[in-house]
Structures are given as C-alpha cells and as structure tokens.
Amino acid sequence: MNFFFGFKNEFIRSELTIPKFNFQGEKIDNTYKVFSAEILNKSWKIDQTQINEDDNFFKIDQSEINNKKIFFLSNNKELKIDKNNQGFLNTLFNFNSFTDNDLVQFRSNLKIFNSKGGFSSYQSDYNHNLCRQGGNILSPISPLLNKNADENFIIFRNILLEPDNNNFKYYFICLKSEKILDQGFITTNKSNEIKVDNSLIKDSVFLFTENILGIPIFVTVDNDHISMEHTHPPHQYILTKDNFDLVKKIKNKFKEIVLSQ
C-alpha cells in the first residue's frame, strides 16, 4: 500500500495526480476513491477527498494539500470506518487489497509550482514499509542542489502509522573534516522544509538523520525556475553483495561524528 503527500510554503504550492491504473497498466476497481488522513486530537481523521477526476486519473488540487495531510486509495468496504467513531482511527492500516508484497502498487505525480509559472514534478509515493520509527537517512547534497542558485531547500516527508508529532534531529555533516556544519529538527507525520545554505553544498557534505526515516526531496529555485530531485537509499548505488554491510559501516561513522560533538 502506498501513501501520497504534497507540500506548501509561502511561495510554493503542489498538486497530485493519481492514476486509476496500476504499474502494469491494469485499471483499478471503480469503487476506489481518494481518502485523506490528518492528525486531529491525537487521532487520524479520515475523510474522502474532494477531487477532480476523469476516466484515467484522480487529481488533487492545491486547495486540498497541506504539509500534514496524506492521501491513499480505498473504498468504503475495505476502509471499514465505523460510523460511531466519526472517522477517527488510532493507527493506519492497509486500507486496500494491494499489499506490500507487490513491487509497485500505485504511483502518483507530485508537481510543485510557484506563481511565476516555474514548476517541476516527479513520480512520488510513500510505501507502507517506510512507516516505522527507527532508522537513519544518509544522502549527499551536492549532486542534487545548485550552490549558485537563489535558494535551496529539502522537503523531508515522514509518515508513521501512529498519530504522533515528535521531533528528531537532522545534521549536515562534512565527512572530510568530520564536523557537524548545521543541524535542526524535523517533525514526524509532516512535510518538513529544511533550508540549505549554499555554503553547505560541497562534495564532502551529507544530510544525515538520527532515528527517523523518510523521503528527502531536493529543491532548487533560481530565477523563478524550479528543479526537484530525489535520491535512492545508499545501498542501491553499491553493486556488491555486501552493500548493506558497507552502508551500515558508513552510517556508523556518521553516528560516531554526531556522538563526538
């Protein structure tokens, strides 16, 4: 099962387009609709989303999107919301018949744009398997951001099954000097905005998160043009059988740097 999300700040809005077919091109059940989940009073409030749609796509307008809300496909039968609890849930379950055993169930197109006509988009989803608390994200930033641009920032999206808003640390760490150059907090169940000073965009500087998983999306704005890039987990770039062990050693090095300062 996949969740979908958007982002907004003072200057940028977003839209989502969700296909009515799976990755193999097969049409989904015509009873499926788009539902949203948002934390309210320490519970998940589930609502059917107001959307535009045609024969092939659900289209979620910017007016429905904020940095806390997530979306998913389901129908009234599989969702099993008890009318007595008025659509509130204590945890997020698998709300449709597509399981995590499938390689890809649904993708969406996430488009971000500004008032000047600049925009960028890419295929976006948040797999149910990522919805757990522990873990670390490690990503280089120089291949994904532009140190000569007007503005650089990272959208960091986290989704947990429980309706919690907890804070965790992120760091910009220089591996060459073994120093923390900048740090701050990101919040669970939110599309966070991490500002990146252009001076940080160097080959030896990495984004590292402590005890929180999520999807980092790298955004560059220059002359009102927008570039949006994403990356993959480090082990996918290492073409040896011991790739997971190597990544574990690398992450342990970054953990040591954090603990030493």
What confidence tier does 241 reach under pLDDT thresholds 50, 70, 90? confident
| Within-domain flag for 121 | no
pLDDT digits (tens, 9 = 90+) for 189-214: 999 999 999 999 999 999 999 899 99
| Within-domain flag for 126 | no
**Residue 110 scores a pLDDT above 90:** yes
pLDDT digits (tens, 9 = 90+) for 141-199: 999 999 999 999 999 999 999 999 999 999 999 999 999 999 999 999 999 999 999 99
- 216 — phi, psi (to 5°)? -90, 130
Is 144 found in the same domain as 73?
Answer: no
Is 90 found in the same domain as 205?
Answer: no
Q: Which domain range does residue 174 map to?
A: 132-259
pLDDT digits (tens, 9 = 90+) for 4-62: 999 999 999 999 999 998 777 788 888 889 999 999 989 999 998 889 999 999 999 99
**64 contacts 51 by C-beta, under 8 angstroms:** yes
Is 104 found in the same domain as 153?
Answer: no
Among 39, 74, 109, which residue terminates a domain?
A: 109
Query: Left (φ > 0), alpha (ψ -120 to 50) or beta: where does 223 sit?
Result: left
- Please give the Cα distance from 227 to 181 (Å, whole number): 24
- Please give the Cα distance from 246 to 197 (Å, whole number): 30
